[in-house]
Structure 1
Amino acid sequence: MEETPSKEESNNKLNDRKLSWAKLRRVDSFNLEAGRVSDIQSNHSKLTWKVTLILAFQSLGIVYGDIGTSPLYVYASIFPDGIKNNEDIIGALGLIIYTIIIIPMLKYVFIVLWANDNGNGGAFALYSLICRHMKVSLIPNQQPEDRELSNYKLEEPSSQLKRAEKIKSKIENSKPARIFLVLLAIMGTSMVIGDGVLTPSISVLSAVSGISKSLGQGAVVGITIGILIVLFSVQRFGTDKVGISFAPIVILWFISIGGIGLYNLFKYDPGVLRAFNPKYIVDYFKRNGKKGWISLGGVFLCITGSEAMFADLGHFSVRAIQISFSCVTFPAILAAYSGQAAYLRKFPENVSNTFYASIPGPLYWPIFIIAIAAAIIASQAMISGAFSILSQALNLGCFPRVKVVHTSVKHTGQVYIAEVNYMFMIACIIICAAFKTTEKMSHAYGIAVVGDMMITTTLVTLVMLTIWKTNLLWIILFVLIFGCTEALYLTAQLTKFPQGGFLPIVSAFFLTMMMGIWHYVHKERYSYELENKISPEQVNELINDSNVNRVPGIGLLYSELVQGIPPIFPHFIANVPSIHSVIVFVSIKSIPVSRVVLEERFLFRQVGKREDRMFRCVVRYGYNDRIENPEEFETQLVQQLEWFIREEDQIVFRAEVDQEGRVSTEQVGALARNEPESDHEVIKSARSSFSHRIAPEQNNGISRASSDSARATPGLHGVEEEVKFVEKAREKGVVHLLGEVEVVAKPTSSFINRFVVNYVYRFLRNNFRQGVTHMAVPRRGLLKVGMTYEI
């Protein structure tokens, strides 16, 4: 039976509660807003089996076209000089079988897919996942409130696993390590872009080459270019619609290649199934030596498109990808390669055109048509993946501004980027015209794919070490099996560097440089604003200047700064000595999560005195969130501002506890409005004490009578007047105030810094969208003022 606490102990507890409640005077208003949603369901809740199966069906039309069309050219790439020994066919088939099992099946389907960021895959999804668990972001805009997001899903490493804490600490305290991580994510994205350009070219060209004997190679290239133009033209309709229309064709393709493969297997030589015995792989290398090692470049082409399973994950789901690969793709391509091997055992001289030569006569033209359709679809896999990953890079400040169009209201992550789409189309046309044959193109293709896979392996290893806290033995096995396998394939691919392998490396280098420079200047620009932010005293002086007029309306002043008032504000007043009756400093901030629910998107804080009617607002978006049109954005912001004004006056900043333990409240919100930036620990303790404080009906320890008396205070009338004032100001008009910031290098900086900032960055900025103009603000509601930052 529990002992009844003494009166002295009760008094001590009450005194402790008084002290903890008194701390609330220092709580930042941003923190009050961050706790508004306590029971938000995850955006990636469990899907029903019906939806999962529909997504699995759609994924066949988007994800597997590339890996599914590899049988068109793999054997020709393995044996470019013909087959010298019939036993080599079994050895090559063994390499194909185990490569498919190890990389796509074991690595991607059963391991890497789970290293997703709220259902999104790709290098930047892994990077954002790491950023949430470690302070490795180079841009210093982290806020403690971000951890309160329902999609953040942050779990600190347990104290029992000191290894994770030690690695985390070393990376956080090492600037080179943090730079290396972001460069790794950028390089991974660059490789995906290179893959997205080469996949359409080689897939369509290999399919159309079936008529090269009758029409000639020139006609094949011309037809390929025409098909590619049509393919890129339909991208604007979106992954959802394209996937539905493509999926039946891909299923027909898999049925065709699987059926033909089984037919050839039993007709010519079922004995090729001995290839499942690794002994034949060893014998293959013994017979061929260096040539066998070089042929690994051709073997590797059987798994091109594996990265699409992870890159396109945001369009579908983990279960959908696992079902479609395990039940359809894997058995079909295994049957296709086995059937081709059986055919080559009888007709080794046809290795240069294995796929079309092995088709039974009556089926040749129907399969040819299906092959072209499947090759077109193969191109879709990496195009969709490139769109998704570039969208993530854009929102994490690593890519110049482009317009991202969300093409599906049902499934998040399905996006289309017009500028990138047409750049891909031009690049594909140039590559087809330059290389002309799939053999030459395959030299470039493999390096881009294996490079991307190795970056994914590195990032997933880091996730296993610091986030999953996996047993060290499993991590070592993961690196040894997958890392070493990919490294071996990379060495074979590098032998083709002079024959075209240089293309993805050179393109990835330039893309990495472009994205790295953009991220560097973006970071330096933010740091400049942070160092030169305006103090509350300076703001008070500016708005109370007799020469400054207040005009009716709401002014939204945009800035990327989330920790204060940007230096462009006094520059505005100096050029236009009047400000609106309501001013909101808006910071549109990208959070390293896939989505931020609307209820958690806006964080407000009042600046200065109430009568000044100035507010700071951080608008948080995940990298898969769509930015609303200006009218919708204005409506949401004003509604949230009115909510903030009402709630802030009802939040308990000071409480006194009487001897009976009841809590009485008084409206002292004004005390907090002039407080400096809050201490993070104070915020944390305040949040734990007031997780439900914003809902008086669900208060914890705060009596309903107290809440009702707070509502009945005379200050409530003033609050409603404030809300009406904001509504009237909106009726007068909302003006979007944009700072046209020109970034230049300091005259004393190095030559490299001046070249990067003054020329490269300026070129990128002038040729892509600027600032928040991607919101398509109408000109009548737009006011721009220029300013120069020296970094």
Structure 2
Amino acid sequence: MSSTNHVLEDTNTGVSQEEISQQFKAKKLSCQKLRRYDSLDIESGTLRGHQGHHSKGTEKWSVILQLAFQSIGIVYGDIGTSPLYVYASTFTNGINHNDDILGVLSLIFYTLTLIPLIKYVFIVLRANDNGDGGTFALYSLICRYAKVGLLPSQQAEDGDVSNFRLELPNNRTRCASRLKSKLENSQFAKFFLLFATMLGTSMVIGDGVLTPCISVLSAVGGIKQATSSITEGRIVWISVAILVFLFMIQRFGTDKVGYSFAPIICIWFLLISGIGIYNLLKYDLSVVKAINPKYIIDYFRRNKKEAWVSLGGIVLAITGTEALFADVGHFTVRSIQISMCQVTYPSLILAYVGQAAFLRKHHHFVSDTFYRSIPDPMYWPMFVVAVLAAIIASQAMISGTFSIIQQSLSLGCFPRVKIVHTSAKYEGQVYIPEVNYLLMLACVGVTIGFRTTEKIGNAYGIAVVFVMTLTSSFLVLVMIMIWKTNVLLIISYVLVIGSVELLYLSSVLYKFDQGGYLPLAFAMVLMAIMYTWNDVYRRKYYYELDNKISPEKVKEIAVDTNFCRIPGLAVFYSELVHGIPPIFKHYVANVPALHSVLVFVSIKSLPIGKVPVEERFLFRRVQPNELNVFRCVVRYGYTDVRNEEEPFERMLVERLKEFIRDDATFTAITQNNAEFAERDGELDDGSVNSDNVNEEAKRVEVEKQLEAMEREIEVLDKAWRAGVVHLVGENDVVSSKGAGVGKRILIDYGYNFLKRNLRQTDKVFDIPHKRMLKVGMTYEL
């Protein structure tokens, strides 16, 4: 492969054929060895540079500071609004001892320091996938380093994509190799990793349901302090109205109101930190001694089981922490580190310290700590900003839900839904109509059903801690296999941060029957949908792989005199990467005509965030050349936009022309090398060198290759002008005869129900209806 790439680079820089031949002679390459390289390798080898996804670490400080400011409005809305309800959710039965407040404050301080600050800001953010974050980013890193994917769609050429490469340390350890080998050889491990990724995804979607409920309900609940005529029922219905409004405006995109997010959240942080300092100085300055972890030990000694149960309320102080990692793709690691360390972390600490100082003097106000601790002149400004901050926090989680479903869809783990990109300026801002309305119904149902932040908080904690624990598990695999981290550091991470998260997880699970079942119920429903779709998706792929059509069979079909070639370009879509799908045979059996140029297009998702446009298309010929039949693999990352501004047809044709030119160059070089090998053999036998005789023949052969290339490009242009027809395979899937009950339910009922009620291929890829032809076939799986 490296030799071929080297040759092509030489031809692109204008080196003569004699010099090329000398290079081949020096390396003693045979024609047979060169012909082992497929034209697909040549296509991937001629890609120019590593443009696509630039490293964000080289940005100027002015840009980093600007991104840090913008990230405040997008990333920290959820964790920033936690002071609205943390103390109320922790002391559900009131405050029994004055020092319990110090114990809880100490727990909040160390939890905020260990999890969001140390774990996420300084460790997890390093595990980004070329700038993208979240559960899928970690899964993708593992999939690229170890072959743990369940679909046999890997290609050697995938490693040539610039974003695909991993910068690995040189000191490879035995532990990393052993773990990698076990993962690759264990089918159970592959399924478990995919299952864990689906579970983490489902829990984040559960966050997208619960965050709007608890944030809006907590903020609106503050109106009770202004008037006693507002009942709990009215608060619930006001919250429902705000939630419905919030979901109804999703289709307009977040960038329409995005400019106001950062200033509002900055004002929010300024106000809560300022009020925190005011309360600290006014009520009890001694609460700062809660920095001593001794108060945590004393808190557990006094309250025992009740202290352990109260951890479910304290964990709400770190809700939205996963957004630090999930949203890193929209900003940079450095910008999020700056905004967290300089603004968010100190503001939250001051807010909790101030509320603790207030509670030391007013135990009976614990259920309404936030609003009761606000000075009277600041009440209405804080109420307005609190409602706005709650809406922004909800917006961030809703947008994050859309993004993670987009990632799931690209990896075949979610049914087809329409992805609407709402902003041409900001990539990653998407809107999914079906999911939006389902989220709205779920939020309204949860708000009306639970009515109080205490019950919703019980549900919220489980979703938060589950995602954090899964992230830690994936991170340990990354530390061992990819980073080659010292084993003592890995053990320290597991013992300190891992044990803290497991302690919180055990606490939130205790409240399973008090609302904690809700996120698990959401997760189970989503997991059932994702598993059903992914399982049948894999079964279909294996069916097509087992029944694919050989190139020889395609050649027989194309040269058959019973078939006529009609003008035009036909693009035949499938998901099969290795070969031609069986549905083509079904098509030609019913339509005895082929277009003058036929391209089999395979849409493939790589386990990376983005694939640069110039590295997206890979081509391969179906021999002989006169057939004008090609195979094409179009590669996307899990955050790539599928419907580019530039029409897909035009991009396909332009890239195909480039391939034809490169392939002609490769063929000419191969033939020259073959002649050189023959001459080299003659010289070794003592024969006379015949360079002068062969030089003219070489020149004639090159001219023939160029003429053939021009003719082929002309045929392609004529086909393009005659029109493009998109042939889309619509596969009906049924269980095979004699299948078990479980398999019949999975395929005949579960999968087909989802397929009937969701988008079809043409709607997902925006294929023009006037030039689309659907080809139906039934697969028995």
Q: Give the direction of change, closer, same or farther, for the CA distance of 1:631–1:160 in structure 2 (3 Å limit).
A: closer
Specify the code of the residue in structure 1 equivalent to 2:733.
V
| CA shift for structure 1 position 311 | 1.6
Structure 1 contact 454–483 (Cα < 8 Å) conserved: yes
What SS does the aligned partner of 1:579 have?
strand
Deviation at 1:631, TM superposition (A): 7.0
Match of 1:505 in 2: 520
- Taking a change above 3 Å as real, the CA distance of residues 710 and 164 of structure 1, as seen in their structure-2 partners, is farther
Alpha-carbon separation, structure 2, partners of 1:464 and 1:654: 49
**Residue 431 of structure 2 is aligned with which of 393, 412, 416?**
416
**Structure 1 residues 427 and 528: alpha-carbon distance in aligned structure 2, compared to 1, 3 A threshold:** same
Query: In structure 2, what is the equivalent of residue 347 of structure 1?
Result: 362
Matched, 1:111 2:123: yes
Q: Would the alpha carbon gap of residues 726 and 89 (structure 1) be closer, same or farther in structure 2, given more than 3 Å must change?
A: same
What is the aligned partner in structure 1 of residue 413 from structure 2? Answer: 398
> Corresponding residue for 1:713?
703
Aligned to 1:215: 230
1:588 aligns to what? 603
CA contact (8 A) 1:157 1:164 kept: no
* Separation in structure 1 between the aligned mates of residue 751 and residue 301 of structure 2, nearest angstrom: 53
Query: Deviations for 1:203-222, whole angstroms, at most 9, x for unmatched residues?
Result: 00000001234311111111
For the 8 Å contact 1:526–1:561, the answer to whether it is kept is yes
Secondary structure of 2:773's partner? Answer: strand
Deviations 1:179-216 (A, max 9, x none): 00000100000000001100000000000001234311
Could you tell me which residue of structure 2 aligns to residue 188 of structure 1? Answer: 200
User: Which residue in 2 is equivalent to 1:457?
Assistant: 472
1:540-561 residue CA offsets vs partner (Å, 9 max, x unmatched): 2212222222111000000111
Amino acid corresponding to residue 724 of structure 1 in structure 2: E
Q: Secondary structure at the match of 1:397?
A: coil
User: Deviation above 4 Å: which 4+ runs of structure 1?
Assistant: 11-16, 155-159, 657-663, 708-712
Give how far 1:241 is off.
Answer: 4.0
Question: Residue 378 of structure 2 aligns with which residue?
Answer: 363
Q: Retained in 1: the 8 A contact 2:268–2:386?
A: yes
**Partner residue of 1:428?**
443
Instruction: Kindly state the Cα deviation for residue 448 of structure 1 after the two structures are TM-superposed.
Output: 0.7
Counterpart for residue 663 of structure 2:
648
Verify: 1:139 aligned to 2:151, yes or no: yes
Equivalent pair of 2:171/2:484 in contact (CA under 8 Å): no
Q: 1:710 to 1:123 in 2, by over 3 A?
A: farther
Q: Which amino acid aligns with 1:375?
A: A
User: TM-score, with normalisation over the residues of structure 1?
Assistant: 0.90
1:200 maps to a residue whose letter is P
* 1:594–1:625 Cα contact (<8 Å) kept: yes
- Shift, 1:629, TM fit: 5.5
Partner of 1:667: none
Secondary structure of the residue aligned to 2:542 is helix
TM-score by length of 2: 0.91
Does the 8 A contact of 1:72 with 1:206 survive in 2? yes
In 2: Cα distance, 1:76 partner to 1:101 partner? 21
Is the aligned partner of 1:60 residue 2:72? yes
The Cα offsets for residues 680-702 of structure 1, whole Å up to 9 and x where unpaired, read as xxxxxxxxxxxxxxxxxxxxxxx
Per-residue deviation, residues 220-245 of structure 1 (Å, max 9, x unmatched): 11111111122223333334444322
CA offset at residue 161 of structure 1? 0.8
Check the 8 A contact 2:76/2:320 in 1, yes or no. Answer: yes
Report the CA distance between 1:286 and its aligned residue: 0.6
Structure 2 residue 750 is the aligned partner of structure 1 residue 768: no
Aligned partners of 2:25 and 2:676 also within 8 Å: no
Give the aligned partner of residue 101 of structure 1. Answer: 113
| Helix, strand or coil at the partner of 2:497 | helix
Task: Name the counterpart of 2:179.
Answer: 167
Q: Does 1:627 align with 2:638?
A: no
Q: Distance in 1 between matches of 2:424 and 2:158?
A: 25
> In 1, distance between residues paired with 2:208 and 2:599?
42
- Cα distance in 2 for residues equivalent to 1:225 and 1:97: 33
For the residues of structure 1 that align with 2:167 and 2:130, how far apart are their CA atoms? 14
Other-structure match for 1:688: none
Aligned-partner SS, 1:554: strand
Q: Do the aligned residues in 2 keep the contact of 1:594 with 1:622 (CA within 8 Å)?
A: yes
Worse-superposed segment, 160-169 or 308-317 = 308-317
SS at match of 1:374: helix
Structure 1 residue 569 and structure 2 residue 584: aligned?
Answer: yes
Corresponding position: 1:477 with 2:477: no
Q: Which residue of the partner structure matches residue 712 of structure 2?
A: 722
Task: Tell me if 1:74 matches 2:74.
Answer: no
Structure 2 CA distance, aligned partners of 1:179 and 1:745?
A: 22
Per the TM alignment, residue 330 of structure 1 is displaced from its structure 2 partner at its CA by: 0.5
Conserved in 2, the CA contact under 8 Å of 1:53 and 1:320? yes
Post-superposition Cα deviations, 1:139-184, rounded to whole Å, max 9, x if no partner, equal: 1100000000011123567574111111000010000000000001
Identity of aligned residues (%): 55
Alpha-carbon shift at residue 315 of structure 1 (Å): 2.1
What amino acid does structure 2 have at the position aligned with 1:109? V
Whether 2:575 is the aligned partner of 1:560: answer yes
Q: Which moved more, 1:387-396 or 1:85-94?
A: 387-396
Correspondence for 2:556: 541
Distance 1:249 1:750 in 2: 57
Local SS of the residue matching 2:53:
coil
Question: Quick check: 2:279–2:355 contact (8 Å CA) kept in 1?
Answer: yes
Contact 1:553-1:733 at 8 Å conserved across structures: yes
Check whether the contact 1:740–1:785 (CA below 8 A) recurs between aligned residues.
yes
SS of the counterpart of 2:28? Answer: helix
The equivalent of 1:679 in structure 2 is none
CA contact (8 A) 1:161 1:469 kept: yes
Query: 2-side partners of 1:31 and 1:274: how far apart?
Result: 65
Structure 2, unaligned runs of 5 or more: 1-20, 681-694
- Separation of aligned partners in 2, 1:156 and 1:383: 35
Answer yes or no: is the 8 Å Cα contact 1:120–1:413 preserved in 2.
no
Paired residues, what number?
A: 741
